[in-house]
Amino acid sequence: MRHTKEEKVAYLFDEIGGISDVLVAEAMAYRPKRRSMMPKYLAVAASLLVCCILFVTLLLPAKNNAGQESNSSGDGAPYVSLDAMLTNASAELRYTELSSREELNFFGKQAYLVWQEEGSDTLCVSRPLTYGELQRLTRAATEGTSVGEEEVSLQYRVWILCGDGTVITPYLQQTAGTVGYGELFDYDPELYPSQSFTTLVSDLLT
Amino acid sequence: MEDCKIVDLYWERNENAIGESDKKYGKMLKALSLSLLSSREDAEECVNDTYLDAWNAMPTARPAYLGAFLSKITRRISVDRFRATHRQKRGGMENLTEELGECIPSSISVVEEYENGRLSKALDAFLAALEKEKRVMFIRRYFYSQPVAEIASAMQLGESKVKVTLHRVRESLRQFLEEQELL
């Protein structure tokens, strides 16, 4: 029996629809590993540079202040990570809870800070952000320091919903591939959020 | 809600099963159908038909991967609808079948192999042997009908890289079909 090429292609196309469920599920669950954009030696050099800067800017002032103030605040205050702040202050934070991502309104013309504990489906949503708060948060979100080659595990993931469909996170550099929603929810951190970002979040939520 | 709990709802004939399915997979299914049909209304109808088919299939079916199970139904219904209503027009699916035409060796008996089930097993074997990234790319393109740009964005790759890789996989599939004597 002879068949045209179009018929054969149609059968092949149909048959692709019958491939194993495991393969179909795998394709949708696939998340790419973050690729290092630099050669390894450059990455090592960059990491060393970051360590030196951190040492100079954080450790030395902390040492100098150690004898003067036991619990300092403001300039020279010990670095508190965003993750640690959310963990330690979780009982004092003010927020509303949503049970799933589908309840989030990405296009509601209203900006929010959203965070989620690892392993939990519940999303914590801040009060609506003012324009000024959104501007300060998005600016501070760009000031993080690179995690380098280190694998960082987070207790909380954090996003800023800008209200126009755009979502950013202080844990990723703001490139075309990381500003948006959908795929952003399962990121691996590229940046440690800056102290100023953590402070802004702390002020916003307490 | 976890897949197994949603499947339990289907088995209990609980109508919340459909709501929960739509909540979890509705967007993905609509995108899949829309990419084939290029009509939002038709896509929505296909997704609704998907839930009806799933409702009728469970029980007896107990899918381990509900998303994949629903996707297959949506794809089948969407393809059928496309063929029934768009015979004279060219749309998203036409482009995909044109690309897949490269995989057909000149004398292959695809139809006969399809009818006796060999083609299905051969495709599973071919895909299982591919590198994961290539396999994911192929399935996203030819199962989920995702545009190349969307695949590139989701996989954090350039569009040209995706196009070249898909071209190579199609070529590999053609060779594989020949080697397997599916001729």
Cα separation, B126 vs B120, in Å, equals: 10
Spatial CB neighbours of B111, under 8 Å, sequence gap ≥ 6: A1, A3, A7, A8, A11
Helix (H, G, I), strand (E, B) or coil at A145: strand
Question: B125 at the A interface (CB within 8 A)?
Answer: no
Q: What is the pLDDT of residues B107-164, one digit of tens each?
A: 545 455 555 567 778 888 888 888 888 999 999 998 888 889 989 988 888 888 899 9
Which residues of chain B are in CATH 1.10.1740 domains? 3-89
Interface of B with A in 77-96 (CB under 8 A): 79, 93, 96
Q: Which of A59-68, A98-107, A181-190, B28-37 has the lowest mean pLDDT?
A: A59-68
| Predicted TM-score (pTM) of this structure | 0.49
Is the CB of residue A106 less than 8 Å from the CB of residue A161?
yes
Closest CA to B93 of B104, B79, B109: B79
Q: How far is residue A206 from each of residues A193, A203, B137, measured CA to CA in Å?
A: 19, 6, 45
> What tokens does B5 get?
């709990």
Is the CB of residue B67 less than 8 Å from the CB of residue A28?
yes
Domain B93-179 in CATH 1.10.274.10? The answer is no
CA dihedral A55, A60, A65, A66 (to 10 degrees): 80
Q: What is the pLDDT of residues A10-42, one digit of tens each?
A: 778 888 888 888 888 888 888 877 665 556 778
Q: What are phi and psi of B94, to 5 degrees?
A: -60, -40
In words, the CATH class of domain B3-89 is mainly alpha
Number of cross-chain residue pairs from A and B with Cβ atoms under 8 Å apart = 121
**Cβ contacts of A100 on chain B, cutoff 8 Å:** 23
Nearest CA in chain A to B116: A15
Residue type, A20: S
Q: What is the pLDDT of residues A90-145, one digit of tens each?
A: 777 788 888 777 777 788 888 889 888 887 878 888 888 988 888 888 888 888 88
**Cβ contacts of B114 on chain A, cutoff 8 Å:** 11-12, 14-15
Q: In this model, does residue B183 exceed pLDDT 70?
A: no
Percentage of chain A surpassing pLDDT 90? 0
How far does B79 lie from chain A, in Å, by closest CA?
8
